[in-house]
Chains A and B, each alone.
Chain A
Amino acid sequence: MDFVRTLGAESLGLIHRLGRMGIFLVKGFAFCVSPPIKVALVLKQIRFFGFQSLSVIFLTGAFTGMVLGFQGFNTLSRFGSDAFLGPMVGLSLIKEMGPVISALMVTGRAGSSVTAEIGIMRISEQIDALELMGLNPYRYLIVPNIIAALISMPLLTAVFDVVGIFGGYLIGVKLLGVGSGVYFGEMINYVEMRDVMEGLFKSLNFGVIISWVCCFKGYYTGYDTGFGAEGVSKATTQAVVLSSVLILVWDYFMTSTLF
């Protein structure tokens, strides 16, 4: 009987938490499209999400492209198809690895910070202070992050793709001897605009996931995670893990159903 009671309570708790997350997302989007938008805060968060993530995107993009160059060449040369290294690197990066790895990097770098910052504001009553001033905390804490992530993610993904393609070029062409014209020529032949749009669409989705999950976990610090520094720490961990898992699951869902 206790088992049934516990199972019921856990199930109800799960439904309650999912409902709260859903309402949080709907409210976040609703305030994104209803003025006033805090433009200065949006710009600040674009700088934080986008500009300040550039170095990590450059690094990971370059090394991902270089690894693809090596592995692609080794595999394709077994079939005598090393001329297709360009399309292989390009398509892998543009359709899949660019959006996914960029999103995972931004989750670790910016998403965790956002959760910790909002979580600390929650436990130190700064969010309550905003509410008691008659101000809407969503407009100050949630909306700027959602808009910033939506703008930054496709741009970061584009940078990742370009840097990665040049990483693959460096290895394939300069180190392993594939012709430069072949590398880019075949890429132009096989990569279509539809592939680029697919990658950018995915990155938009991942931007929503990162801002939604990380803001939610920070905003509700103390509800499911315990209070104090430990609560913020748990919320941050949960935000990074949940965002990363959702990115991979949603990526599979989009790839298998939409493209």
Chain B
Amino acid sequence: MIRVQNLYKSFGKTEVLKGISFEVVKGEILALIGRSGYGKSVLLKHLSGSLKADRGEVFVDGRDLASLKGRNLRELRDRLGFLFQSGALFDSMTIFENVAFPLREKTSLGEEDIRDRVMYELDQVGLIGSEKKYPSQVSGGMVKRAALARALIEEPEIMLFDEPTTGLDPLTGEAILSLIHSCHERVRFTGIIVTHEIPRIFAVVNKVAMLHDGVILFEGSPEDIMSSEDPLVQSFISVGSGVKR
């Protein structure tokens, strides 16, 4: 479904991605872990078509993302959901209007149907009762849940999550991860999650890739990474797990 091949990206003289390659098959979720500032979010932006690589390709369903422009790129994005680190809700709209926005703008559904779909999605993320509030009137966790509902309302085939639990307390973070898991069970999207939630994320994903110094240092199943003997991988995993304890 998603194949990244030999991807390079530099900003000025700083080389951020130095030949990244990996693959995510349909219906699978990949966790992208690694230290902050090592290019995980930059990589995610390449997968959404927001950034262009200096070299290398990103293929989605066999189509090179760099070759897509205008309407073709918009068609691909119709199949894609993106959960921003900040939520990126429209601050002049209520929670309900935010979640309804993609349906109102991109479908011909009637207002009654839209209402039903939105209320169902808000129910799934536990936001019934907050639908008339504005993003500035709710907590960070609620903003993330509302953003998740907005991203999932069109049942996208591909979901990209940029640090969905950053800045949240452990319980809310756990709730968000459970939501992602249950949404995946329901929608069966193909997903990539950029996260620091180690080891909690391993219960949600099928595969883990660790980015270090611009290259994929490790790629394998959650069980594989736990038993990896690479000292860098081990130190990252153990510190991550230790913090959680």
B77-89 interface bits toward A, Cβ cutoff 8 Å, 1 = contact, 0 = none: 1101010101011
Q: By the criterion of a CB under 8 Å from any partner CB, how many residues of chain A are at the interface?
A: 13
Contact across chains for B102 and A126 when beta carbons are under 8 A apart = no
Q: Which residues of B does A touch, CB under 8 Å? A: 48, 50, 74-78, 80, 82, 84, 86, 88-91, 101-102, 105-106
**Beta-carbon contact of A133 and B84 below 8 Å:** no
* B77 with A128: CB separation less than 8 A: no
**Residues of A contacting B75 with CB < 8 Å?**
134
Find out whether the CB atom of B91 lies under 8 angstroms from the CB atom of A132: no
Name the one of A121, A125, A133, A136 contacting B102, with C-beta atoms under 8 angstroms: A133
- A102-124 toward B: CB 8 Å interface, digit per residue (1/0)? 00000000000000000011001
Q: Say yes or no: is A230 at the interface (Cβ < 8 Å to chain B).
A: no
Cβ of A126 and Cβ of B90 under 8 Å apart?
yes
Is A129 an interface residue, CB under 8 A from the partner?
yes
A127 to chain B: closest CB distance in Å?
9
Inter-subunit contact B77/A126 (CB<8 Å): no
> Could you tell me if A132 and B50 are in contact, using CB atoms closer than 8 angstroms?
yes
A125 neighbours in B (Cβ, 8 Å): 84, 86, 88
Minimum CB distance partner of B48 in chain A: A132
Q: Measured between alpha carbons, how far is A211 from B109 in the docked complex, in Å? A: 33
Contact check, B88 vs A129: say whether CB atoms are below 8 A apart. Answer: yes
| Docked-complex contact A132 and B90, CB < 8 angstroms | no
Contacts of B101 in A (CB 8 A): 133
Q: Chain B's nearest CB lies how many Å from the CB of A144?
A: 13
**Can you report 5 residue pairs joining A to B where beta carbons are below 8 Å apart?**
A124-B86, A129-B84, A132-B82, A133-B77, A134-B75
Bound: A136/B73 CA distance, A: 11
| A132 touching B86, Cβ below 8 Å | no
Q: What are the residues of chain A within 8 A of B77 when measuring CB–CB?
A: 131-134
- How far, in whole Å, are A67 and B34 apart by their CA atoms in the complex? 68
Cβ A126 vs Cβ B106 within 8 A? no
B132 to chain A, nearest CB (A): 20
**Complex contact A128–B91 (CB within 8 A):** no
Q: Which of B89, B91, B106 interacts with A134 by CB under 8 Å?
A: B106
CB proximity to B under 8 Å, residues A126-155: 126, 128-129, 131-136
Measured CA separation A129–B76 after assembly (Å): 14
Which of chain A's residues 179-220 have a Cβ closer than 8 Å to chain B? none
- Bound: A131/B77 CA distance, A: 8
B78 contact set on A, CB distance < 8 A: 134
Q: Which residues of A contact B89 (CB under 8 A)?
A: 126, 129
B48, B84, B106: the one within 8 Å of A135 (CB): B106
How many angstroms from the CA of A176 to the CA of B91 in the assembled complex? 54
A125, A132, A135, A136 — which one has the most chain B CB atoms within 10 A of its CB?
Answer: A132
Q: How far is the CB of B72 from chain A (nearest CB, A)?
A: 11
Report the minimum CB–CB distance from A36 to chain B (whole Å).
Answer: 10
The residue in chain A whose Cβ has the minimal distance to the Cβ of B81 is: A132
Is A132's CB under 8 angstroms from B105's CB?
A: no
Q: Which residues of B contact A135 (CB under 8 A)?
A: 74, 105-106
Nearest A-chain residue to B92, judged by Cβ: A117
Q: State in angstroms the CA–CA spacing of A132 and B81 once bound together.
A: 7
Minimum CB–CB distance from B228 to chain A (whole Å) comes to 33
Q: Which residues of A contact B86 (CB under 8 A)?
A: 124-125
A239 to B210 alpha-carbon distance, docked (Å): 44
Are B91 and A131 interface neighbours, CB within 8 A?
no
- Chain A residue at minimal CB-CB distance from B85: A125
A143–B80 CA distance with the chains assembled, in angstroms:
26
Chain B residue nearest in CB terms to A140: B105
Q: How far is the CA of A131 from the CA of B48 in the complex (A)?
A: 10
Alpha-carbon distance between A124 and B85 when the two chains are bound, in angstroms: 10
Chain B contacts for A133, CB-based, 8 A: 77, 101-102, 105-106
**Beta-carbon nearest neighbor of B154 in chain A:** A133
Measured in the bound complex, the distance between the Cα atoms of B49 and A134 in whole Å is 11
A131 to B102 alpha-carbon distance, docked (Å):
11
- What are the residues of chain B within 8 A of A124 when measuring CB–CB? 86, 88, 91
Docked complex Cα distance between A128 and B76 (Å): 15
Whether the pair B84, A128 counts as a contact (CB closer than 8 A) is: yes
Shortest CB-to-CB span from A89 to chain B, Å, is 42
Known: A124-B86, A124-B88, A126-B88. Contact between A132 and B80, CB under 8 A? yes
